[in-house]
Structure 1
Amino acid sequence: MSTDTTTSPPAASSHTHAFQAEVKQLLHLVAHSLYSNRDIFLRELVSNASDACDKLRYLAIDDAALWEGQSDLRIRLDFDPQARTITVSDNGIGLSMQDAIDHLGTIAKSGTREFMQQIGDARKADANLIGQFGVGFYSGFIVADRITVESRRAGLPVEQGVRWSSDGTGEFSVEHIRREARGTDVILHLREDADEQQFGDLLTAWKLKSIINRYSDHISLPIEMRKREWDKDKAAEVVREDWEQVNKAAALWARPRGELTSEQYIDFYKQIAHDAEAPLAWTHNRVEGRSEYTQLLYIPAKAPFDLWNREQMAGVKLYVKRVFILDDATSLLPTYLRFVRGVVDSSDLPLNVSRELLQESRDIRAIREGCTKRVLSLLEDLAGSEDQAQRDKYATFWQEFGQVLKEGIGEDFANRERLAKLLRFASTAAESDAQTTSLADYVARMKPEQTAIYYITADTPRAARSSPQLEVFKRKGVEVLLLTDRVDEWMLGSLREFEGKLLQSVARGAASLDALQDEAEKKQAEEAAQTHQALLARMKTALDGMAQDVRISARLVESPACLVVAEGDVSGHLARLLRQAGQEAPKSKPILEINPAHALVQRLQSELDKGDAAQAEAFDDLSRILFDQAQLAEGGMPEDPAAYVRRVNQWLVRAA
């Protein structure tokens, strides 16, 4: 356990405190539901011990007195079959009384609610989620019905040690104790009523060693256990007072790639990412040149619960000469790559590097550029591989992280072209929305006379596919990309072209298929515009204040009308997104395009030809119905829904 808080004065006796409500709920779930991988508790406690040692090593750079004359850091694991206890000890930074109260009785993490929702789902009742949500200490209650923590924070007097204890129900007690050694002992009292087959093997050296080898072999600190030997004369196991190291204690990323197996890479990822699943891919390199550093970066298979929290940037840990510095090194990768997990170990940075220095350092900028390019190269290798299994991995990546990668189009100008090639979209050329296409593949399929890459934005793929604005594109066999992610409108503000082809919205007035029309079609469109000049003028008057213009459409085949926006105006889809986000959308009026071949438009022409006052009111009502229906078709809502319903009902009565 480790924090940076200070201690309060010693208490005279033990004090009892109630757990935070979320902790009570969490502990109940841990104690009663999480058995799918009970060994995870040891991984989490060893990881916490390692973090505590790393924090001491970092703080002691500026305050050598914290070493208290003992600079050899280590983690120890012990067990007592008679007492049914397992103890995980470290000589790291330790806890003060206030640390124990604050950090062992509350969960001060924004993801608590999401954790409770996910862990409460019977289908996801997996102990691996504990570490993922940053509450790994409580995983001890998977196997224990009581946990005792004895600790002293480095630099505090021996009289200010602390003992924390709880049975994992509603309360915990804390008291001051005298403790000579700095650091922390976490003592798990295994459940007395537990099935011996379920927990009994944990009280054996071979089982605990196998868990350490499985999950924590890469921990750079030595993990020690007491030596145990079989005494033939006593026919019993004898415990020695000397300790033996049970892990390799070598930073995995510092070892040559040729020495490492895929299983070792995967196990290391699971430990640092607190993820039960193997990563999709990883890249491990030593970079030499202006800046020397080692990078081991992973692409997860699943998006974390806090993916959309742009402030959550704890994916890559920073080490300097194998000394842990930061686990939230936000300067090592751009925000749009916040899903990446891994380690960067620099040979050039000073050990006392500050967050401010990280923002300004030339070496950090070089590391950031190098890590960004390496991740993009890894994604390019997956996307462009001739191996179907690798391409399937990229499809999985896109499904999980594609929306985040799109943020890079607007944030990373230097890599915009590379990112554009990695984008994937649903398309009218595919039979299902699960099939996606790249911009390069779209360009390769373009008709010879086609000059633009056409797209449509909508709230859902279904809404996009059924939009009236696609009708002529479907008839002409012109492919249209279907953009339905909330980030797409923002991305399109920066992505204007690809390989010399403009990206053109079919919902904008400039989207023209003139190059795809034959002479007969062009002549027919011109004649329709001339023939219906009076109708267009009258409809524009009826829709005054609603539409900036009314004109004959070249894009409609079956629908009576659709809305388009002028170049430079905000689309209806973007305006809705802005309002949903609580922002004021720029005010602009759309253009109404009508289909002169449709029966409703022909009825409008008939009402206009009659010319009497009664028919004028009916003309205005039908014009507004067409306008409101066009809004509905693009995912919007009429300005006055009740008035729309009333007008529709009146026309239904007339028709009856």
Structure 2
Amino acid sequence: MSTATAEKPAEAHVFEADVARLLHMMVHSVYSDKDVFLRELVSNAADACEKLRYEAISTPSLLAGDPDARIMLVLDADNNRLVIEDNGIGMSRAELIEALGTIARSGTRAFMERIEASKAAEGAQLIGQFGVGFYSSFMVAERVDVASRKGGEDEAWLWSSDGKGSYEVRPLDLADAPTRGTRITLHLMEDAKDYTRRGKVEAIVKQQSGHVPVPIMLYDKPDEKPAQITDGTALWTKSKNDITKEEYADFYHGVSGQYDDPSLTVHFRAEGRHEYTTLAFVPTTPPFDLFDPDRKGRMKLYVKRIFITDDAELLPRYLRFVRGLVDTSDLPLNVSREMIQESPILAAIRKGVTNRVLSAIEKQAKDDADAYQTFWNNFGIVLKEGLYDDYERKSQLLGLARFRTTTSGENQRSLADYVKDAKPEQNAIYYLTGSSVEQLRVSPQLEGFKARGIEVLLLADPVDSFWVMNAPEFEGKSFKSVSQGAADLAQFAKPESAEEEKTPEAKAEISGFVALAKEQLRDDVSDVVASDRLTESAVCLVASESGYDRQLEKILAGAGQLQAASKPVLEINPDHILIKAIASAGSSPALQQDAVHLLYDQARILDGDKPADPRAFAERMGRLFEKALKA
């Protein structure tokens, strides 16, 4: 051992809390398919080789006498060990700690919560579904040693852990380290001895990692000659006619880190002004990072089969659930991050790939309604972000959208279905936004529309409140909120029960009560009006014609984006028995004043809010009960 190495003692570290929880779940849970650990480690090794190829473009010396990338699997049945080694970029001490001691991606807490939820429901698919990578080693190993030497450096390091809460990092003599790259030694558990059998390991590799772009060598024993079991041919360079469904699925598993099968595969080669190949997959189940706050995509960029980055925006963010890659020969191999961000070539590629992916989704919607419904349930909330972000494709995305409505029951309908069934005189697509479909179904704002047989979209996703503000017309019909401005129902025939003619005295009483309500609530509402949208409830609140939609106001206020909410409009149902009774109680002004405030608080409760003044609300209720008991 060199003097420099001997002077540096081993360092003990404790795993980041969430990593410790993750390891505990793996070690103490039973999974029906532990084989996925090998796919994860092979994928990591392939990534390391690809990163080296990229770095070597500007620093050829990194390849120093060993230019051909490879992954080596060494079986050691005598010592019950499995070794996975690559001659890729390798890791420094700091990189070992960062990569193997923490979960680096944002949204860690949400990630862990989803893992625990799935563990309770479908533990057998946990690892593949969430792509936890290196940590899956501890499903089969009682100890894991990671020896690594970064390309171009004269130091090597050993990371070691038993997966029980801590790990150790210490210097490694260069004689015991890879010349370049990383060697992972799994000290297998007693019940994992099968992973030292050639037949089992070779079958797993060919099934799950047969198309990684790096050759894989298999050693039956540490001192024997290797056999090449995969040739490192990039699947995306082959003709679609030469690729089976199973091969596509295997490649998807490796590139996505998921264990489901893709619901859509988009594979094409673009030629002409720009040449590039795309292989993209739409998952069947949502990736764990679907709601990552950064909303980044997971498409990889290759240039002439050399991995460049997985941080290029090759698809818009509302398609971030798509997994895959783009390989182009139109960019220089030494392309910089800044050039990637500003490249007109990549902008053109992004447009082409986006169009092809959306076309594939449209085809599925047309040809397989059941599969598309599953897709929409999983990804519709994300796809709708494009209605807000992507003006160029709003009409296309509106055609893909599916909605629950007042007439759909538990099913969902397209806007084309809505327009087809709309009333002849109807020139708007009506919608109501809120926090849940169940709450929306019982909203008083819907009563007049339901009574007249007018379908209303029930929009319960937060993004709905934003895209509808700037939604274009759909087939000549604009979008209109039923909780904002006048209901505009005069053009539609009223239900028979609402055709009752009022006497002049009754009209006068209602008008007087409306005037009283305006005076009493002048600080709380912008107006009080007789409603033509209410048929069953006594009151409701709506936004003014010029204000924000009620739900959008709540979202903006909750996010601190709104200085002050605008005053709503209180609508009163003049045909409601309660309103008639209160309006005719002109001899009891105190009762009418209490009733006005109670009706306003009732409208707030129906709108999902609390009474404006809970104590005053309780006192008014007490006075009414007292009066009723004395009567």
CA positional deviation for 1:128 = 5.6
The residue type equivalent to 1:410 in the other structure is Y
Do structure 1's residue 382 and structure 2's residue 382 form an aligned pair?
no
Do structure 1's residue 397 and structure 2's residue 375 form an aligned pair?
yes
Alignment TM-score, normalising by the size of structure 1 = 0.90
Contact 1:96 1:151 in 2 (8 A): yes
CA positional deviation for 1:620 = 1.1
Residue of structure 2 in register with 1:313 after alignment: 296
Alignment of 1:267-416 (within 5 A): 267-329=250-312, 331-385=313-367, 390-416=368-394
Q: Whole-Å Cα distance in 2 between the matches of residues 529 and 375 of structure 1? A: 60
Change (3 A) 1:140 1:180: closer
The alignment partner of 1:189 has SS state of strand
CA positional deviation for 1:57 = 0.9
Q: Whole-Å Cα distance in 2 between the matches of residues 467 and 491 of structure 1? A: 21
CA positional deviation for 1:11 = 5.6
Residue of structure 2 in register with 1:421 after alignment: 399
Which of 198, 202, 216 is the matching residue for 1:205? 198
The residue type equivalent to 2:207 in the other structure is R
Which of 479, 485, 510 is the matching residue for 2:486? 510
CA positional deviation for 1:105 = 2.8
Residue of structure 2 in register with 1:183 after alignment: 181
Residue of structure 2 in register with 1:225 after alignment: 218
Residue of structure 2 in register with 1:49 after alignment: 45
Residue of structure 2 in register with 1:453 after alignment: 429
Contact 1:291 1:367 in 2 (8 A): yes
CA positional deviation for 1:589 = 1.4
The alignment partner of 2:172 has SS state of strand
Contact 2:283 2:321 in 1 (8 A): yes
Residue of structure 2 in register with 1:550 after alignment: 528
Q: Whole-Å Cα distance in 1 between the matches of residues 81 and 158 of structure 2? A: 16
CA positional deviation for 1:34 = 4.6
Contact 2:76 2:222 in 1 (8 A): no
The residue type equivalent to 1:445 in the other structure is D
Change (3 A) 1:519 1:203: closer
Alignment TM-score, normalising by the size of structure 2 = 0.93
The residue type equivalent to 2:166 in the other structure is E
Q: Deviations over 1:157-188 (max 9, x none)?
A: 2xx22222222223333223124611111111
Deviates more, 1:565-574 or 1:392-401: 565-574
Deviates more, 1:145-154 or 1:118-127: 118-127
The alignment partner of 2:380 has SS state of helix
Change (3 A) 1:135 1:218: same
Q: Whole-Å Cα distance in 1 between the matches of residues 467 and 487 of structure 2? A: 19
Residue of structure 2 in register with 1:4 after alignment: none
Residue of structure 2 in register with 1:231 after alignment: none
The residue type equivalent to 2:233 in the other structure is A
Do structure 1's residue 641 and structure 2's residue 614 form an aligned pair?
yes
CA positional deviation for 1:445 = 0.0
Q: Whole-Å Cα distance in 2 between the matches of residues 632 and 239 of structure 1? A: 73
The alignment partner of 1:184 has SS state of strand
CA positional deviation for 1:526 = 11
Do structure 1's residue 249 and structure 2's residue 245 form an aligned pair?
no
Deviates more, 1:299-308 or 1:620-629: 299-308
Contact 1:50 1:221 in 2 (8 A): yes
What is the RMSD of the two structures over their aligned residues, measured on CA atoms? 2.3
Contact 1:458 1:634 in 2 (8 A): no
Q: Whole-Å Cα distance in 1 between the matches of residues 317 and 104 of structure 2? A: 23
Do structure 1's residue 80 and structure 2's residue 80 form an aligned pair?
no
Which of 472, 475, 480 is the matching residue for 2:448? 472
Do structure 1's residue 98 and structure 2's residue 94 form an aligned pair?
yes
CA positional deviation for 1:553 = 1.2
Q: Which runs of 5+ in 2 are unaligned?
A: none
CA positional deviation for 1:69 = 2.4
The alignment partner of 2:183 has SS state of strand
Alignment of 1:235-246 (within 5 A): 241-246=224-229
Q: Deviations over 1:394-436 (max 9, x none)?
A: 111111111111111121111111011111111111223xx11
Change (3 A) 1:75 1:340: same
Contact 1:293 1:345 in 2 (8 A): yes
The residue type equivalent to 2:148 in the other structure is S
CA positional deviation for 1:372 = 1.0
CA positional deviation for 1:502 = 1.5
CA positional deviation for 1:145 = 0.9
CA positional deviation for 1:48 = 0.9
CA positional deviation for 1:523 = 9.9
Change (3 A) 1:128 1:598: closer
The alignment partner of 1:307 has SS state of coil
Contact 1:153 1:161 in 2 (8 A): yes
Contact 1:318 1:343 in 2 (8 A): yes
Contact 2:452 2:495 in 1 (8 A): no
Change (3 A) 1:570 1:512: same
Do structure 1's residue 532 and structure 2's residue 510 form an aligned pair?
yes
Contact 2:297 2:322 in 1 (8 A): no
The alignment partner of 1:52 has SS state of helix
Q: Which runs of 5+ in 1 are unaligned?
A: 1-8, 229-237
Q: Whole-Å Cα distance in 1 between the matches of residues 619 and 162 of structure 2? A: 66
Change (3 A) 1:459 1:27: closer
Identity of aligned residues (%): 44
Which of 127, 136, 158 is the matching residue for 1:139? 136
The residue type equivalent to 1:643 in the other structure is A
Contact 2:297 2:315 in 1 (8 A): no
